[in-house]
Amino acid sequence: MPFASQLGIELRKAEPGEVIGSLAYSPRLCTAGGVLHGGALMTLADTLGAVCAYLNLPPGGRTATTTSATNFLRPVGAGSVTGTATPVHLGRSVIVVRIDVTDAHGKLAATTTQTQAVLPGPQERRT
């Protein structure tokens, strides 16, 4: 995932029931106030949610994010953040994933609920 690696997102665990990744604090990812930008936290959540959805697809399936809602609960001004994605619903047409992002002290900094469409593979497309 080129964009995620460009930001420094690292996958720590990738299994269908749980995906864990992290993002280190960097001034280049901050707001003018010196805290991690919400977009950086959302990118971590989106990346982990997409990996979780992908790992739960049927054979040959593809996925795309259709909705993503993030609640920011505390600022992150140092250390790193860790995201944990877990599937909430594994349906035939949608997968819903929850991603909790914690700060270096294990405190919840943001939580995201993401819906991913389950799409057929290229060979299964209807014309």
- Give tens-digit pLDDT for 13-44: 999 999 999 999 999 999 999 999 999 999 99
The pLDDT confidence band at residue 122, using thresholds 50, 70 and 90, is: confident
What pTM value is reported for the model? 0.92
The pLDDT confidence band at residue 126, using thresholds 50, 70 and 90, is: low
Which residues make Cβ contacts (< 8 Å) with residue 116, sequence separation at least 6?
49, 50, 53, 63, 64, 65, 66, 94, 95, 96, 97
Residue 124 has pLDDT above 90, yes or no: no
Higher-pLDDT residue of 58 and 124 is 58
| Nearest CA among 55, 37, 53, 56 for reference residue 101 | 37
Rounded CA-CA distance 118/94 in Å is: 5
The answer to whether the Cα torsion of 14, 108, 46, 30 is positive or negative is negative
Residue 111 has pLDDT above 80, yes or no: yes
Q: For position 125, what pLDDT does the model report?
A: 53
Q: For the chain, what is the mean pLDDT?
A: 94
Q: For position 123, what pLDDT does the model report?
A: 64
Determine what percent of the chain is predicted with pLDDT higher than 70.
Answer: 96
Which residues make Cβ contacts (< 8 Å) with residue 107, sequence separation at least 6?
74
